[in-house]
Amino acid sequence: NSSESHNCAKSILTSDRLQVVVTLVEFFNDTWETANCANCLKNSSEGLSDSTVEFLDLFNKSLTCFEHNLQGQAIYLSPNNYTEVCRNCNETYRKLNDLYNNLQRLNRQGGESGHSAHLCIDVEDAMNITRKLWSRTFNCSFPCSDTVPVIAVSSFILFLPIVFYLSSFLHSKQKKRILILPKRIQSNAALVNIQEKYS
């Protein structure tokens, strides 16, 4: 009976003291929500979104590039000398990093999945692994494009006080002190004249 099917399912699922099935369902639902798995899927959850497929493809290309440039060289390389990896995989890593930053920005606005939260855990973990390999393991640097403007603005701000005090010194009028020497001889003579008048 369809009217009694819900009560029947409920009684079967909660028949044991531990309620194992209910606990497992709640665990998997919580894991799905916490990992933001829906953000990797299309809006109707038919499959992976196009951006997720593109990201995972670039991620695999990056790992392949890392492995390809390490094959046969790992014996001869010192732990801190991975210049071949840094040079040959720079473009692939840059594309992956740019795509990840774009996905983050789009996801804040809703993205393909319709959910506005963090990226799904698969994408975030993949990017964390790649960044850790790039920066810590291979010790590659990702040059910042804002370096020149930051240095220019910092230099300008540092020289402002010097320019201010220099211009203040040059444009201010220096008052020269005129020393008036006392004329003691004349003053003594005048004092004698005054005393003579009153005497």
Residue 104: inside a domain: yes
Stretch 160-189: mean pLDDT: 70
Provide the β-strand partners of residue 41.
48
* Max CA pair span of the chain: 145
Please state, in angstroms and as integers, the Cα–Cα distance from residue 155 to each residue in 87, 146, 165, following that order. Answer: 31, 14, 17
**164 pLDDT band (50/70/90 cuts)?**
confident
Domain limits for position 109: 48-137
Amino acid 195: pLDDT: 57
Per-residue HEC secondary structure of 161-198 comes to HHHHHHHHHHHCCCCCCCCCCCCHHHHHHHHHHHHHHH
Please check the confidence at residue 53 and state whether its pLDDT lies above 70.
yes
Q: How far apart are CA 45 and CA 112, in angstroms?
A: 11
pTM check: above 0.85? no
Residue 27: inside a domain: no
**193 pLDDT band (50/70/90 cuts)?**
low
Amino acid 1: pLDDT: 45
Residue 120: inside a domain: yes
**145 pLDDT band (50/70/90 cuts)?**
low
> How many domains is the chain built from?
1
- Assigned token pair, 73: 């060289």
Amino acid 197: pLDDT: 60
**61 pLDDT band (50/70/90 cuts)?**
very high
Residue 71: inside a domain: yes
Amino acid 8: pLDDT: 73
Amino acid 168: pLDDT: 81
Please check the confidence at residue 178 and state whether its pLDDT lies above 70.
no
Spatial CA neighbour of 62 closest among 147, 145, 142, 120 = 142
Quick one: angle between helices 50-70 and 90-108, nearest 10?
A: 160
Please check the confidence at residue 127 and state whether its pLDDT lies above 90.
yes
Q: How far apart are CA 12 and CA 104, in angstroms?
A: 43
Instruction: Indicate the DSSP class of residue 41.
Output: B
Neighbouring C-beta atoms of residue 103, cutoff 10 Å: 23
Neighbouring C-beta atoms of residue 43, cutoff 10 Å: 13
Which amino acid is residue 19, in one-letter code?
Q
Most confident of 13-17, 133-137, 167-171: 133-137
Provide the β-strand partners of residue 101.
none
The larger pLDDT score, comparing residue 42 to residue 16, is at 42
Residue 115: inside a domain: yes
How many residues in the chain? 199
Residue 122: inside a domain: yes
Residue 68: inside a domain: yes
Stretch 69-95: mean pLDDT: 76
